[in-house]
């Protein structure tokens, strides 16, 4: 079965300048776990998920370093700290969104999306055709498919 058969076609999206509180409000109102972030021309630039919002209330992991006289030698990656801090203090979608978005195509088999969800712990996943957002697929879409198979007594 193809992703196009299961995906949600009417996608709730936000813009990069959408306030975080508005994103949270939309996610709760529509009972969704993430929203794609698009430019005004419809081009996908990121995604905000529940995990991206929860990080605002998590402890930031400060980098470990060794101080030798006037020199500071970092033992951990400072970019990870900077990224966590950006997300924790963010007030708009551009601050908290995941920028490297994994996507799927409408003609991909659902196993492609399911594998990304399991291996990369992604949910939801935007569905792109070229550079245009055509839909979104989530774990609940796949679970509905499983239930429908059981109810219909078939297995694909």
Ranges of residues in the chain whose predicted pLDDT is under 50? 58
d(CA 149, CA 6): 13
pLDDT for the residue numbered 61: 55
Rounded to whole angstroms, the Cα distance separating 23 from 27 reads: 6
Q: Whose structure tokens read 């959408």?
A: 18
Q: What is the pLDDT of residue 94?
A: 94
Question: Rounded CA gap, 52 and 34, in Å?
Answer: 9
* Domains of the chain: residue spans and CATH: 3-152 (3.10.580.10)
pLDDT at 91: 85
pLDDT score, position 116 = 96
Q: In whole angstroms, what is the distance from residue 1 CA to residue 5 CA? A: 7
pLDDT, position 63? 62
Q: Print the SS3 string covering 4-67.
A: HHCCECCCCCECCCCEHHHHHHHHHHHCCCEEEEECCCCEEEEEEEHHHHHHHHCCCCCCCEEE
pLDDT at 79: 74
Check residue 22 and give its pLDDT.
Answer: 96
pLDDT of residue 55: 72
């Amino acid at each position: 079965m193809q992703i196009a058969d299961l995906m949600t076609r009417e996608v709730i999206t936000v813009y990069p300048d959408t306030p975080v509180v508005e994103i949270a409000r939309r996610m709760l109102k529509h009972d969704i776990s993430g929203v794609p972030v698009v430019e005004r021309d419809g081009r996908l630039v990121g995604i905000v998920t529940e995990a991206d919002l929860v990080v605002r209330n998590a402890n930031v992991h400060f980098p470990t370093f060794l101080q030798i006289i006037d020199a500071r030698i970092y033992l951990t990656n400072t970019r990870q700290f900077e990224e966590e801090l950006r997300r924790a203090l963010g007030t708009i979608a551009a601050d908290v969104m995941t920028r490297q978005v994994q996507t799927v195509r409408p003609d991909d088999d659902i196993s492609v999306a399911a594998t990304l969800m399991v291996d990369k712990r992604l949910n939801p996943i935007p569905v792109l055709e070229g550079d245009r957002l055509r839909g979104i697929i989530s774990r609940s879409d796949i679970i509905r498919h499983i239930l429908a198979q059981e109810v219909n007594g078939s297995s694909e």
